[in-house]
Copies of this chain bind each other. A is one copy, B any other.
């Protein structure tokens, strides 16, 4: 059973404003390592398992050009959704495409805008997840929670199927604070990181059973023309919550969904004072700052920080952001204000 990958690169977040914009969303930014975008890092991470020609990058039509530019001469294929319809139609379309080429295909679905600091540990868990997929399970990797996060969905794990693989008992939405505390205290709940592993045939069977409208549109051929008729629904809601054989593999490999500039700072290489600064910067009595130069071309420039700590400073051609790291979440407030 050959391995294939579907990399979801259609996101259009605003949390990394002003660096991220609808035209250049998070996955196209080198947020953790200045030398590669998050999309490139995702592709590099699975390169040991999946040949580039077996990788589909799924993105929106308006992002096809910048995404292709980043992929360069790679054999990776692009699947451009004419309109955004959440993850179920897009994953089903990519899976159907792969299944047509390889009836034995085993698929890996990964978001393109997360970070993983321990790629070897990640690949080991992917190995477990693929084992479960070979056993006929729609499988996900759940992240061992490190805090009672209310911003993520959770997966409750049930009985073990095998060492390191569990029945996924249920998928739950973002909880409130009290419930998140319960989840973490129970030891049975994992974060849903949006990674899926399955035999293409198993998934398409599930799509036919649980999302017949999607299956029908795919069966009609000419998917690009009819894509707008797809329901906008997540793979979790459409399939994972309904399917019978669903497995979860708990994982702990330095995962981050890079939810804000704070996470980018956490994951970036820092100088001895905890600063992340462009080359040629000067810092005096300054600690824990993230200075991010996202100007087109990035002409050499001196960033000088003196006597300031724990700030995020982001520069683009069109905007400058200055915010304390611990308020990085509130960047959305600025984006909302600017929209008005």
Segment at the B interface, from A70-78, A123-131, A329-337: A329-337
A236 to chain B, nearest CB (A): 32
Binary contact track A288-332/B, C-beta < 8 Å → 1, others 0: 000100000001111111111001010101111111100100110
- A330, B306: Cβ atoms under 8 Å? yes
Partner of A323 from the list B306, B317, B320 (CB cut-off 8 Å) is: B306
Q: Is the CB of A319 within 8 A of B337?
A: no
Copies of this chain per assembly? 2
Does A327 contact B302, Cβ atoms closer than 8 Å?
Answer: no
Given contact pairs A306-B327, A306-B330, A308-B311, A337 touches B301 in the complex (Cβ within 8 A): no
Chain B residues with CB under 8 Å of A301's CB are 317-320
B337 touching A284 by the CB < 8 A rule?
yes
- Taking the closest CB of chain B, its distance from the CB of A334, in whole angstroms, is 5
Q: Which of the listed residues A282, A318, A320 has the most CB atoms from chain B within 10 Å of its own CB?
A: A320
**Complex contacts, A311 vs chain B, CB 8 Å:** 308, 322
In the complex the two chains form, what is the Cα distance from A306 to B313 in whole Å? Answer: 11
Q: Contacts A284-B330, A330-B284, A333-B284; is A338 near B302 (CB within 8 Å)?
A: yes
A82 within 8 A of B: no
Given A284-B333, A337-B282, A323-B305 contact (CB < 8 Å): yes
User: Given that A282-B334, A282-B337 are contacting pairs, would A322 and B305 also be in contact in the complex, using a CB cutoff of 8 Å?
Assistant: yes
| Contact A303–B320 (Cβ < 8 Å) | yes
Chain B residues lying within 8 Å of A284, measured Cβ to Cβ, are: 330, 333-334, 337
A304 touches B321 (CB 8 A): yes
Which listed residue, B282, B307, B333, B338, touches A338 by the CB 8 Å rule? B282
A284 to B285, alpha carbons, bound, how many Å? Answer: 26
Q: 8 closest Cβ contacts across the A-B interface? A: A307-B327, A302-B319, A306-B323, A304-B334, A304-B321, A305-B322, A303-B320, A307-B324
